[in-house]
Structure 1
Amino acid sequence: MRGFLASSIGVTCAAALALPLTLPSSGARAAAPGAPSAAGPATEAVPGSTQSIPLTPLGSDRALGSSEAREQGLARRDVRPFSLVGVVWNDPEAELHGTVQVRTRATGTTTWSDWQHVETHNHEHAADPDTSERAAGTVRGSTAPLWVGDSDGVEIRVRAEPADPADPADPAEPAATDRAATDRALVAGTAATPLPEGLRLELVDPGDDPPAQNPGHKAPRAPSASELSAASSAVNADLAPIGASVIPALTKRQTENDLIAARGGPAAAGKAEPKARPYVGPRPRIITRKGWGADEKLREKHFAYTKTVKAAFIHHSATGNYYRCSQSAAVIRSIYRFHVKSSGWRDFGYNFAVDKCGNIYEGRAGGVAKPVLGAHTLGFNTNSMGIAVLGTYSWSTPPKAAVNAIARLTAWKLGLYGANPRGTTYLKSGGGNLYKKGRNVRLRVISGHRDGFATECPGSRLYQKLGKARSTSARYQGR
């Protein structure tokens, strides 16, 4: 089982009590006493499921071993219902140089989708090197997950790219052009980059949505369960009742007063209001893990924290844009299960998620106001937070509602830690492909993932909107 991160980049839950919005000691424990392990009993039913199917050589490669095959996959087959797909492999340090394409059949029909491209480069979304999460021996290499909707049939092909492609891919049509270039190179006899060992197709069923909670109703603690659920909720106890599905929005004045009181200012002592009020945006409405239906038995039972929040890294989930906002919770549950069960992470990788309608969701457990250590930006998870916009925004423009949600969320969370959304800050690199380990790097307080790691994420179209998000966030803070 992945252990609690106890290195210099993490702090104990007790130390977290000194953070800007402190929580009662009863809600700040690292884990509930007597809580079951994250894996849970083998016979215990959990919402959702994962099917893991080994890939095999295709076509002329069938006579080769999997390590030599240049094309692996599965022919069309019937499977149990699922809604999200991805591919994993044994070595988390290995990269998949090639193309992954899938097509699926809608449940209960004979209708098959067109071939869809799966983003292959996902290793940059991970825990930092030298952390317990990274070194636990459970982490695997993986593609990005792709949301395909309710399906019960699948076909997949994974093709290695030529070692020296003669025809670079056209970014407008990555899947089709990469495949054509690979075909020409293989016909010409050009060597292909080996595919990673142990390729497996992961099919994720997100399970059912949680039942609607009656507003104002305090959810009871289920005796069987839910010590882990109660612990996950208790770290937000100053913001909403334990078991709440939603942390309600506050006005700017209410948020300022709460922050002043938490810091022991005049509001806490009943004194006159201070002349200089803090730069913090109004707290936005946040759907909790309870609200989106997180199965808390999947994650590592402890929480892990960094020291502060100096920057926010913006991502896209690369799961595609073919989801309805009513399906957002299911998309998040699917990504969560893929991150933990398929990729071997301790929890959902991002600190927050935002859907295309502008709804904000709690991500990695540990408390939305706390500096929870995520696994979103390899090399820069320390003293930062990660926000993933659900969708793929390389060629699609993100909705205004999503960009505004980034601004609202960062104005509040960065404001708790005194960070200016228009400003810059320094973060020490934990190691990556842009900055060597130990280097102090000057970054924007609101950065795109690509600012800390050479990657397409958060997609060119979303990256172009970050200037707007910064200025709007600063305005919400009153700057």
Structure 2
Amino acid sequence: MGTGLVALLWSGDDTDDHAARTTSGAAPDVPLVKDKGSVVRAATVPLARGRGLVADARGRHLTQRLTTDAYKMVAVTWASGRPEVDVRFRNARGWSEWTHLEALTDGPTVGDAESRQATRRGTELLWVGRSDGVQVRTTATTGLDLVLIDPGALAADATATPAASATQGPGAATATTVARTTSAGTTSAAARPNKAPRPPLYDRSVWKPNPDYLNGSPVYTNIIKQVHVHHTASANTYSRADVPAILRGMYRYHTQTLGWFDIGYNFLVDRFGRSWIGRSGGARKRVRGAHTLGFNHNSVGIAVIGNYESRNPTTYAVTAIVRLAAWKLDLDGQHATGRTWMYSKGSDKYPAGRRVALYRIDGHRDTNDTACPGARLYRLLPDIRTRAERRLRYYS
């Protein structure tokens, strides 16, 4: 895996104001190790009471303020339970306020091969930008790992272009000839697809995932009946050039830390309205993801990069969801509005075998105990369904 596993040595008392070591030239408390064949660097730090965690006056358990090599993403994992976790980090402006890490309720289907190799649970992976210090506060006393990732930067990150236009490449719909009247009063022929067209997609070769991270092969389902909408519960202030790095970091976390086959989401959408291919196996194909625990089968997972609990998604991102959902549902002749019956494979909201009527385009919170995709994005889902239905009816 190439993970830097750091033995954290504790010395002295810890309080909320414990200062990080700042001795010029001193080695950091947490060094990051570069993965073989990749620009990604990472570290995993075991945390437990008496080894990195100390109780404060309020009964919470904290690490000291740790100095680190430069990193941009942080998460915490555990083997069992569901602890509360907060972090703060140090960047060029100093130490941040505490940020709560949401528990990750994505995951492989219970009982399948991907699930059996996934031995840890964890939080969402938080994008913090370039930072060189971290502190953790938690309700747990044992079994935690702090995960720091620097996804690296490539020159091509700033010049990413989609692999194909809406009417080109795999998955392009067949076309009919439509007569149009020009301004001069003459008629001309224009081709219009017979199904909702594939939107422009940025493929995996653009964000450069390390193929050595993969843990297995794609699994396919027999039909797509649903689209589950997510947010990544991360920062909203990323730049266009940051997005490929965010995907590399998420991919590394899902595969090398959590043990999944590949990145969990089938597609990801950024705040600029760009759509990215996530999980491998073919964008047009019915690839089963690890995005909606208990309901990965017969569905597609689309995650919007950012946190939309108290901030609205951009109109560009919402339009990208509409176009992706219409394309994937129309490939299997499905509508975008209304509900469909689904059987749970086992989630924290519906036990295995429970038959549930779910919207064809729903939010992650409809199937799992989570705030995802955030209140501001969730309330837009009725409009997203209507617009996606209008789009597939127009083309069909």
Superposed, which structure 2 residues align to 1:47-446 within 5 Å?
47-57=39-49, 62=54, 71-91=60-80, 94-96=81-83, 98-106=84-92, 111-122=93-104, 124-136=105-117, 138-158=118-138, 160=139, 195=140, 197-209=142-154, 211=156, 246-250=163-167, 255-257=172-174, 278=194, 280-446=195-361
Cα distance in 1 for residues equivalent to 2:35 and 2:106: 32
Cα distance in 2 for residues equivalent to 1:206 and 1:60: 25
User: Higher strand share goes to which structure?
Assistant: 2
Cα distance in 1 for residues equivalent to 2:113 and 2:303: 23
Cα distance in 2 for residues equivalent to 1:472 and 1:416: 17
Q: Residues 410, 103 of structure 1: CA spacing in aligned structure 2 closer, same or farther, 3 A cutoff?
A: same
2:25 is aligned to none
Deviation readout 1:380-423 (Å, 9 max, x if unpaired): 00110100000001111111111110001111111111111113
Q: 2:387 aligned with 1:472, yes or no?
A: yes
- Tell me whether 417-426 or 397-406 shows the greater mean CA deviation: 417-426
The amino acid across from 2:73 in the alignment is L
Q: Residues 141, 475 of structure 1: CA spacing in aligned structure 2 closer, same or farther, 3 A cutoff?
A: same
Cα distance in 2 for residues equivalent to 1:349 and 1:132: 14
Paired residue secondary structure (2:156): coil
Aligned-pair distance for 1:214? 9.8
TM-score (norm 2): 0.80
Q: 2:364 aligned with 1:452, yes or no?
A: no
Paired residue secondary structure (2:148): strand
Cα distance in 2 for residues equivalent to 1:56 and 1:372: 38
The amino acid across from 2:283 in the alignment is V
Contact between 1:284 and 1:412, CA under 8 Å: does it hold in 2?
yes
Deviation readout 1:78-135 (Å, 9 max, x if unpaired): 21221000001123xx211x341222224xxxx324224133321x211121111111
Cα distance in 2 for residues equivalent to 1:112 and 1:90: 32
**CA-based RMSD:** 3.0
Deviation readout 1:435-469 (Å, 9 max, x if unpaired): 22112211111011111122111111000011111
Q: Residues 102, 357 of structure 1: CA spacing in aligned structure 2 closer, same or farther, 3 A cutoff?
A: same
Paired residue secondary structure (2:245): helix
Regions of 4+ moved over 6 Å = 58-61, 212-215
Contact between 1:118 and 1:143, CA under 8 Å: does it hold in 2?
no
The amino acid across from 2:113 in the alignment is S
Cα distance in 1 for residues equivalent to 2:164 and 2:211: 18
Paired residue secondary structure (2:42): strand
Provide the identity percentage: 34
Cα distance in 2 for residues equivalent to 1:73 and 1:296: 36
Contact between 2:108 and 2:115, CA under 8 Å: does it hold in 1?
yes
Paired residue secondary structure (1:151): strand
The amino acid across from 1:335 in the alignment is M
Q: Residues 70, 332 of structure 1: CA spacing in aligned structure 2 closer, same or farther, 3 A cutoff?
A: farther
Contact between 1:210 and 1:293, CA under 8 Å: does it hold in 2?
no
Paired residue secondary structure (2:385): helix
Cα distance in 1 for residues equivalent to 2:241 and 2:335: 33
Contact between 1:427 and 1:441, CA under 8 Å: does it hold in 2?
yes
Q: Residues 443, 58 of structure 1: CA spacing in aligned structure 2 closer, same or farther, 3 A cutoff?
A: same
Contact between 1:144 and 1:317, CA under 8 Å: does it hold in 2?
yes
Q: Residues 196, 365 of structure 1: CA spacing in aligned structure 2 closer, same or farther, 3 A cutoff?
A: farther
Aligned length: 344
User: Higher helix share goes to which structure?
Assistant: 1
Aligned-pair distance for 1:157? 2.0
Aligned-pair distance for 1:296? 1.6
Deviation readout 1:278-298 (Å, 9 max, x if unpaired): 5x3221000011111211211
Cα distance in 2 for residues equivalent to 1:247 and 1:282: 11
Q: Residues 255, 100 of structure 1: CA spacing in aligned structure 2 closer, same or farther, 3 A cutoff?
A: same
Q: Residues 203, 369 of structure 1: CA spacing in aligned structure 2 closer, same or farther, 3 A cutoff?
A: same
TM-score (norm 1): 0.66
Cα distance in 2 for residues equivalent to 1:411 and 1:210: 33
Contact between 1:316 and 1:391, CA under 8 Å: does it hold in 2?
yes
Contact between 2:41 and 2:149, CA under 8 Å: does it hold in 1?
yes
Cα distance in 2 for residues equivalent to 1:332 and 1:472: 28
